[in-house]
Amino acid sequence: MDAAQWDERYRASAGGVWASEPPAVVREIAGPLTPGTAIDVATGDGRTALLLAARGWGVTGVDFSAEALAIAADRPGGDAVSWVRADVHTWEPVASVDLVVSCYLHLSDNAAAIARIAEWVGVGGTLVVVGHDVENIAAGGHGPSDPAILYTPALLRGALDDRFRIERCERLTRGAADAELRGGHAHPAIDTLLHAVRVR
């Protein structure tokens, strides 16, 4: 989907496409980190950026949908985040940051895009990427049905070089108990998680 299609989807959503909270695994990883600077890639309607800002992070939320960013900025705490309308293929931060998070960003060049956003992580900083795994199609989970834009652990691991220490890179299954994380969808779903730290 391009920016215009996402704008239309958000216009029709009556206040947001996704759930109000970031994925549980993102909250789990970010929770113990000392707040610093962060970028929320493909922030959408801002759920991850807003949570980080509420925890004391200086957050930039980047998305190419103006409608999504308008919803995000209008939410409680939205004035604490710097919202940027931009494409992750071309945008660059002014400086590296302590945390880069990307939730459910699926592109035709996933590996290259992840390698690019990884460059934004400063030494000692953390990268968290979570998205739909290719096995999600067979599982009947919510999300894209094109395997070419879905994740695998091998794809995410291969996007990084030896400047990163990989803490976790694995498939995660979300069942009915996790339905609130994706707008109430109750079927099991399979995600891929990458959690890495830049060491040099």
Residue 68 has a pLDDT of 92
Which domains does the chain show, CATH number per domain?
A: 3-198 (3.40.50.150)
17, pLDDT greater than 60: no
pLDDT at 159 over 90: yes
Q: How many whole angstroms separate alpha carbon 11 and alpha carbon 5?
A: 10
pLDDT digits (tens, 9 = 90+) for 112-141: 999 999 999 999 999 999 999 999 999 988
Question: Which residues make beta-bridge pairs with 100?
Answer: 39, 127
Interatomic CA distance for residues 158 and 8, integer angstroms = 34
pTM: 0.90
Q: Which residue has the higher pLDDT, 114 or 181?
A: 114
Q: How many Cα atoms within 13 Å fall on the side-chain side of residue 32?
A: 4
